[in-house]
Structure 1
């Protein structure tokens, strides 16, 4: 009897753990908002557009440089909010709420689906070109998975037409990596892989070379790496970086969740050499941190003493690709 009770309690504790701590595992995978598309930007990339630098808080789906491509609901739900705006970061936006407790956001739309566009036009006639946010307090405006909600565009900060897609909690206090929610099997197949281009050590830039030796000074190595997922001709941000000093895990980044209060703090993750323009994106992930942040899970770089370091990096993306890289550090 005691054994059976123990087994039941253990099973119950496992069930409770999954319900409380891994909600995304319990929901059905979302469908793509754009048919037969691929990803052109990933979660928590650096952005310097708008009034202040910030994280890219979703993923971008290609609409093949076309405006007017249908944008569809990723899951059943109802319309929670319309944002009617041309010049803000998001531009014209639809926010849906779903029975699983999450919200999805679709931005940069050129126009809404007809039944929402009529309302938007009425409000534009009354309020002009001002930013208009319409909150729906009931669930009357129901949508079905795959239903048309708008059309691709370049409103807001978008340089080219595309669909910006986010997943947030119901209170919109936290934003999640949408690639943890969508059915990635529906993405258009493209060749991809992890690349490591350059290193920054104590503020000095070096081209990366496997097993090369670089010098550092100071109490501990201040390393930043320029790393990407290379997808077709696009360079995308990565999902996870592990740093080992002589096989000891000393730093670990996982980019799966962004509390809203950290949205304008990309400097916690990215080195000051990071550059984003309309033509250039060079992202340097810092592999050390002077303050706590929710996406740094292990931070023991400062605790590791010595003058010579064998450094190993394990870099992963949200598509399952893994890159392993190594180099040496020597105190000068």
Structure 2
């Protein structure tokens, strides 16, 4: 009996030691059943998702509550990203973040608008002191919305530590119903090194995945030799939604021994860009599949790896039989297993890699300069993860800089010297990245110094010079000249630029600056009459919109309001 008590206390203490986050400190930020539209650590474009996306029943305007006592330490309002976002710092050192908000509570909204009107800017970032905007647990602090880079109404909710590192909110007891096993959708094998091969090929191989319909998977037996790595595509689903969300933990075992672990508990924003080293970037760009590599390549600084033997690679010897297993789990320990039976067989008749030799070679540890004609590309050291042959050529004003299948971790510069460039509108020229099947010219942030145009980018691909001589268009959406707007709460105007894109705008009412909110998804500017900038009956509205090369349009009209 004494031994049982000791064992019970031992396992209880071990369980408590592993649970380092308070599970009863934070309450729910919403007063509805929580349903996840996105999970922590989920693979997004060029970053890991840093919080939980909580569904708001396809509605906006739901109450958002402060999840613990604290004070508003930061407010950020932007057209993109989190849109309207609120940061609350708590006495225990953690900070909660609420993003894509429609608006703030009355007190916070007044505080924000006061500063927006003082700075005459919709986009703003504020850092109130610890006494200005106090919050009690359960207090309404905002209303849910769809602002910024949101793809639909939801609340983005984060918990960060005192070093600004986001932590999985589910570790704090956030209640999301989940009894559903993760799903594995793809598996690839990668021959690594000069002698390695899989199924008599040195090219990475997509393996035929077999769903055993019980949460386990297998593949057709494969032959391999040498140093091998694997990668999988996997998703998790919660009980009340069909969203394809991210998983919590991935482990691999080779002949019973743990050789790799990846967990999504916490990361820092400084490392999130290295997601592109975790995934097969080439496959993502060519087939839109995010495969997570179950091995760690050189120059991979991610902190999410644990218990790694030989960086997750396995060594397959000739004339052997071995078993490689993958366990994928969610935070509720629902798991899926993949088993790969491997026959070790060295072959002399193997399919080689394609020859990708070009005249130009990039050493990732060195500065590189590529130039031809009026075009120059400056690549600082450590821009890329690996050395590689790069495809570089210039035809007229079009630069081909490889294909966008190799990730960059730093910005590099592309410059065009316009000395002698014959055009009547040289000041309307910009650098564009050519995208899609039709090489659509997408504005790349262009700076001009004398006759030289420069853009900084992290994306390989095709670039060219483009010209924009057409000013933005301005169209009123819910009013017309001379109209009475006494019963209107909002004034809405559509602004659009089909060339270089909109750079900035400025609206005034009877000569006074007014706060207009720009939603780039609908290309709409909105003014709230409750701001009470004017008490006049007759009102003159003036709006100036400027694009990224300086073309501008002016819209003026008059309306009445009591």
Q: Same fold (TM over 0.5)?
A: yes
Q: 1:157 aligns with which of 126, 144, 149?
A: 149
Q: 1:169 to 1:100 in 2, by over 3 A?
A: same
Q: Give the corresponding residue for 2:295.
A: 288
Q: Give the corresponding residue for 2:390.
A: none
The separation in 1 between residues aligned to 2:167 and 2:329, in whole angstroms, is 17
- Aligned residues of 2:104 and 2:142 also touching (Cα < 8 A): yes
Q: 1:267 to 1:330 in 2, by over 3 A?
A: farther
The separation in 1 between residues aligned to 2:81 and 2:234, in whole angstroms, is 26
Q: 1:206 to 1:179 in 2, by over 3 A?
A: same
- How many Å apart are 1:273 and its aligned residue? 5.4
The separation in 2 between residues aligned to 1:282 and 1:149, in whole angstroms, is 38
Q: 1:148 to 1:325 in 2, by over 3 A?
A: same
Alignment map for 1:51-90 (pairs within 5 Å): 53-85=46-78, 87-90=79-82
Q: Give the corresponding residue for 2:21.
A: 24
- Aligned residues of 2:47 and 2:274 also touching (Cα < 8 A): yes
TM-score, with length taken from structure 2: 0.50
Q: Give the corresponding residue for 2:317.
A: 306
Alignment map for 1:195-210 (pairs within 5 Å): 195-202=183-190, 203-209=204-210, 210=217
Q: Give the corresponding residue for 1:8.
A: none
CA offsets, 1:214-272, max 9 Å, x none?
54767422211111112331111111111011111111111101022112111233222
Q: Give the corresponding residue for 1:244.
A: 253
CA offsets, 1:18-63, max 9 Å, x none?
5xx86414x6342221221211111111222xxxx11111111001
- How many Å apart are 1:305 and its aligned residue? 4.1
Q: Does 1:229 align with 2:264?
A: no
- How many Å apart are 1:130 and its aligned residue? 4.6
The separation in 2 between residues aligned to 1:182 and 1:94, in whole angstroms, is 21
Q: Give the corresponding residue for 1:131.
A: 123
Q: Give the corresponding residue for 2:434.
A: none
Q: Give the corresponding residue for 1:45.
A: 42
- Aligned residues of 1:273 and 1:284 also touching (Cα < 8 A): no
- Aligned residues of 1:97 and 1:170 also touching (Cα < 8 A): no
Q: Give the corresponding residue for 1:34.
A: 30
CA offsets, 1:57-91, max 9 Å, x none?
11110011211111111112111111122x23111
Q: 1:330 to 1:114 in 2, by over 3 A?
A: farther
CA offsets, 1:176-196, max 9 Å, x none?
111111332xx4x46622111
- How many Å apart are 1:137 and its aligned residue? 2.5
- How many Å apart are 1:107 and its aligned residue? 0.5
Q: Give the corresponding residue for 1:320.
A: 333
Q: Give the corresponding residue for 2:105.
A: 113
- Aligned residues of 2:250 and 2:329 also touching (Cα < 8 A): yes
Structure 2 residue runs without a partner (length 5+): 1-9, 191-203, 211-216, 348-562
**Relative to total residues, which structure has the larger helix share, 1 or 2?**
1
Q: Does 1:260 align with 2:269?
A: yes
- Aligned residues of 1:213 and 1:330 also touching (Cα < 8 A): no
RMSD: 2.7
Q: Which has the higher contact order (CA 8 A, sep 6+)?
A: 1
- Aligned residues of 2:182 and 2:336 also touching (Cα < 8 A): yes
| 259-268 vs 94-103, greater mean Cα deviation | 259-268
- Aligned residues of 2:228 and 2:315 also touching (Cα < 8 A): no
- How many Å apart are 1:274 and its aligned residue? 6.3
The size of the alignment, in residue pairs, is 304
TM-score, with length taken from structure 1: 0.82
Matched residue SS, 1:311: strand
- Aligned residues of 2:228 and 2:316 also touching (Cα < 8 A): no
Matched residue SS, 2:97: strand
CA offsets, 1:278-322, max 9 Å, x none?
xx9843221001145311102223364425431111111123312
Q: Give the corresponding residue for 1:166.
A: 158
- Aligned residues of 2:51 and 2:158 also touching (Cα < 8 A): yes
- Aligned residues of 1:80 and 1:139 also touching (Cα < 8 A): no
Structure 1 residue runs without a partner (length 5+): 1-10
Matched residue SS, 2:21: helix
The separation in 1 between residues aligned to 2:314 and 2:244, in whole angstroms, is 33
| 159-168 vs 285-294, greater mean Cα deviation | 285-294
